[in-house]
Amino acid sequence: MADPAHTGPRHVAIIMDGNGRWATQRGRPRLFGHHAGARRVREVVETCPDIGVEYLTIFAFSTENWKRTQVEVAGLMSLFRRYITKEARALNEFGARVRFIGDRVRLDKKLIALMDELEALTAHNTSVHLTIALNYGGRDEVARATKRLAEDVASGKLDPETVDEETLPKYLDTYVLPDPDLVIRTSGEARISNFLLWQSAYAEYEFIDTLWPDFGRAEFTALCENYGGRDRRFGGVKP
């Protein structure tokens, strides 16, 4: 149960940007930066319980990332398989519950099997809920959700007259998660890149210059503390 005195974000979503630039600055290939970025994830995950963050969602690979070179895409897919295999035990022992969101159709069968295994392994954990967005795009998610909703209307399972803004979220990949309170994007870019479009309607945003491989516990903690000082009115006016 959430602490009523806690003023920080319960759910933080992160666009982990800047891996390739970080590597280029060091004269290394882009995949070197992606490997460095993957190592940062555990530090952020393990920080969450200490600062009251119950849910962490990270953007690992977008539906648009398939446009990158074949070498980089293949390297990223290999990295995801290695990451899951290597980190599964540590995440489970830490008590993290892991979920994946996104369209799995285009992913290879071995990677999908590893994702399924990690979700099953950690299904009863509660220290932090880690959601990994893999082959994910906000527009794609809404389109898939709308298709499922339309199918339920066509089959008679859902009355179209009852459809409202509370209905669609039940069909989204994130249907079991609360909406994010805070969205962080690293690397100095100030755009949301098709990430959690519906869910982030009232999220606070932090666009920071730090490249993801340099992002760590201290900066994550500071951003969450800063969130606690914001005046969130959700479109209303406080008396």
CA 59 → CA 112, 132, 177, 184, distances in Å? Answer: 17, 6, 15, 11
E runs forming strands in 69-112: 96-101
Q: Is 226 one of the catalytic residues?
A: no
Amino acid (1-letter code) at residue 8:
G
Query: Is 23:33 a contact under the CB 8 Å cutoff?
Result: yes
Single out the catalytic residue among 50, 65, 135, 159. 65
Single out the catalytic residue among 17, 19, 173, 181. 17
Amino acid (1-letter code) at residue 179:
D
Query: Is 41:114 a contact under the CB 8 Å cutoff?
Result: no
Q: What are phi and psi of 206, to 5 degrees?
A: -130, 115
Q: Is 194 one of the catalytic residues?
A: no
Dihedral, 166, 197, 224, 50 alpha carbons, nearest 10: 70
Dihedral, 91, 59, 119, 105 alpha carbons, nearest 10: -150
Just list the catalytic residues: 17, 65
